[in-house]
Amino acid sequence: MDRDTAEKLYQACYMKVYSFVMTLAKNEDTASEITQETFFRAISTKHTFRGESECYSWLCAIAKNIFIDGTRKAARYQGEPDENTADSSTDIEQSAIDTETSFRIHMLLHEMEDPYKEVFELRVFGELSFAQIGTIFRKTENWARVTYHRARLKLKERMDQHEI
């Protein structure tokens, strides 16, 4: 890939790919590293792009694979994650309630089986379209819609069971 094409690809897709990776990694440093590695791989191995999807979907697939590989490696060495501190500008009691509720919802979401969990996260946190989600999974847009709505129903059902 020539330098101009690589630069255009980077400029056009960097923030979208970074946002997608943030939904997976939930850490700015990790997301930045994965995004950089994604573009490095894409630019250095452009010949693997078959043109069956748009570049953004292709880059998200690369990023997803890098994230999965990194997660597998980190699982061997991972300790306790750092805890987030509450924002001191808000009411501490309300913040504690919101943080606890959010944590409980994320725990329920974490326990959800794939692909429901990932499709839900891509749609809600990644703000991806159903067409883009379908492309990432190499499925149809309709499959992504149905999977997302089933995930919402499963999450709502679990929230009702746990009175959240």
Q: What is the pLDDT of residues 42-100, one digit of tens each?
A: 888 755 555 556 788 888 888 998 988 888 877 766 554 444 444 444 454 555 556 77
pLDDT at 1: 65
CATH of domain 1-76: 1.10.1740.10
Number of neighbours of residue 109 by Cβ within 10 angstroms: 19
Domains 1-76 and 92-164 share a fold: no
For residues 12-25, give the mean pLDDT.
89
CB 163 within 8 A of CB 100: no
Structure tokens at 124: 């809600």
Domain definitions of the chain by residue range: 1-76, 92-164
- Our CA angle for 122, 124, 129, nearest 5°, is 60
Q: Is residue 164 exposed (0-12), middle (13-18) or buried (19+ Cβ within 10 Å)?
A: middle
Cα separation, 116 vs 108, whole angstroms = 12
pLDDT at 71: 82
pLDDT at 142: 92
141-152 tens-digit pLDDT:
999 999 999 988
pLDDT at 57: 85
Fold (topology level) of 92-164 = Arc Repressor Mutant, subunit A (1.10.10)
Crossing angle of helices 141-161 and 92-111, rounded to 10°? 120
pLDDT at 94: 58
Q: What percent of the chain has pLDDT over 70?
A: 80
For residues 25-43, give the mean pLDDT.
89
Is pLDDT at 108 greater than 50 in this prediction? yes
pTM of the model: 0.48
119-158 tens-digit pLDDT:
988 888 788 889 999 999 999 999 999 999 998 888 888 8
Q: Count Cα atoms within 13 angstroms, Cβ side, for 91.
A: 4
CB 36 within 8 A of CB 19: no
